[in-house]
Copies of this chain bind each other. A is one copy, B any other.
Amino acid sequence: MSEGVTVGATDGLDLSHQVEQSPEFRAAVVDLLGALAYGELMAFSQLARDAESAPSHPDRAEVSRLAVAEFHHYEAIVARLEQLGVDPEGAIAPFVDAVDHFHERTAPNDWLEGLVKAYVGDGIAQDFYREISAYVDEDTRDIVLSVLADLGRDAYIVAAVRGAIKADPKVAGRLALWGRRLVGEALTQAQRVGVERDALASLLVGAPGRPGADLAELGRMFARLTDEHTRRMGNLGLSA
Interface residues of A (CB under 8 A from B): 41, 44-45, 48-49, 51-52, 56-58, 60-61, 64-65, 67-68, 71-72, 74-75, 78, 88-89, 92-93, 96
Contact = CB atoms under 8 A, between A and B. Distances in A.
B41 A45 contact: no
Nearest to A74: B61
B49 A89 contact: no
Query: Which 3 pairs, one residue from A and one from B, show the smallest C-beta to C-beta distance?
Result: A48-B48, A68-B71, A68-B68
A112 B178 CA distance: 36
Given A45-B51, A56-B89, A68-B72, 6 more contacts: A41-B61, A44-B48, A48-B49, A64-B71, A65-B71, A68-B71
Copies of this chain present: 2
Contacts of A61: 41, 74, 78
Contacts of A52: 45
Contacts of A72: 68
Contacts of A89: 56-58
B67 A48 contact: yes
9 contacts: A41-B64, A48-B48, A48-B67, A49-B49, A57-B88, A57-B93, A57-B96, A65-B75, A68-B72
A123 B52 CA distance: 23
Contacts of A96: 57
A227 B89 CA distance: 40
Contacts of A56: 89
A71 B72 CA distance: 12
A200 B214 CA distance: 69
A205 B45 CA distance: 42
A236 to B, nearest CB: 26
